């Protein structure tokens, strides 16, 4: 197994892309620490499934917009597994669709903190324990195209994650590689909550692959970028959207 004896942190891994990524990394031999904010049932089920398959995992409740919780997650990981080799910054969200005229500064700051500041805090907390390894940041197609209606803070925050990815790759190389992933229409709770069914159907039918993505599609790319299979890849932001947007 290509990640045997390595340790990964996957944030927001109680469901969807985070859960699939944690499962994929564990299947390749990594010890996995997952964080959750509210999805405690999903997080515990993920840990239980990893252990049932012969892997090692822990779950830690954390609000990753809080520096103390970011450091708490990393400390729990180091205490359990001895270090950190892989960081997958997956936690975040849109919160609510609001136009610029409808939103206030608190909404803007909250979405930016969820998606951008949380990644910054996790990198800061992990670096003292990462002499080498890989960071994978989950951005979004919205960071490329501005997002759908009422998603300006979300799209802006994900665009910032993409830029942070490039800067980190320069600063942390050669020992730590940093890449981003920009998912499009993936069958997750995000779109169950925020995207109308008819929009999802239209996007799926308009895409060259004629379907929505699934979390495992993204998890496979997370694994590739976290592993030595991508040893000469850093600073990239990779589209995974069934061909709906080319960059």
Which tokens go with 110?
Answer: 């909250």
Q: What is the DSSP string of 54-105?
A: T--EEEEE--TTSHHHHHHHHHHHHHHHS--SEEEE----------TTT--H
User: Is 154 in the active site?
Assistant: yes
Local structure of residue 185 (DSSP, 8 states) = S
* Three-class DSSP category at 22: helix
Provide the pairing of β-strand 176-183 with 57-61. unpaired
Of 76, 10, 9, 12, which Cα lies nearest the Cα of 38? 12
Task: Point out the catalytic residue in the list 71, 154, 223, 246.
Answer: 154
Q: Residue 172: left (phi > 0), alpha (psi -120 to 50), or beta?
A: alpha
Catalytic residues: 154
């Amino acid at each position: 197994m290509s990640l045997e004896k390595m340790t990964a942190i996957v944030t927001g891994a109680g469901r969807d892309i985070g859960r699939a990524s944690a499962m994929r990394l564990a299947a390749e031999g990594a010890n996995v620490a997952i964080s959750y904010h509210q999805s405690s049932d999903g997080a515990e089920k993920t840990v239980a499934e990893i252990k049932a398959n012969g892997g090692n995992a822990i779950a830690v409740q954390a609000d990753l917009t809080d520096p103390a919780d970011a450091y708490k997650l990393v400390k729990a990981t180091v205490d359990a597994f001895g270090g950190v080799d892989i960081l997958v910054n997956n936690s975040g969200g849109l919160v609510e669709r609001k136009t610029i005229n409808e939103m206030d500064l608190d909404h803007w700051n909250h979405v930016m903190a969820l998606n951008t500041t949380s990644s910054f805090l996790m990198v800061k907390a992990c670096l003292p324990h990462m002499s080498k390894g890989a960071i994978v940041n989950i951005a979004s197609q919205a960071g490329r195209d501005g997002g759908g209606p009422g998603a300006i803070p979300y799209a802006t925050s994900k665009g910032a994650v993409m830029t942070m990815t490039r800067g980190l790759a320069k600063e942390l190389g050669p020992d730590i590689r940093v890449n981003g992933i920009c998912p499009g229409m993936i069958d997750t709770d995000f779109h169950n909550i925020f995207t109308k069914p008819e929009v999802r159907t239209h996007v799926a039918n308009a895409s060259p692959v004629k379907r929505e993505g699934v979390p495992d599609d993204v998890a496979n790319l997370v694994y590739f970028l976290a592993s030595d299979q991508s040893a000469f890849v850093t600073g990239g932001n990779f589209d995974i959207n069934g061909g709906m947007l080319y960059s």
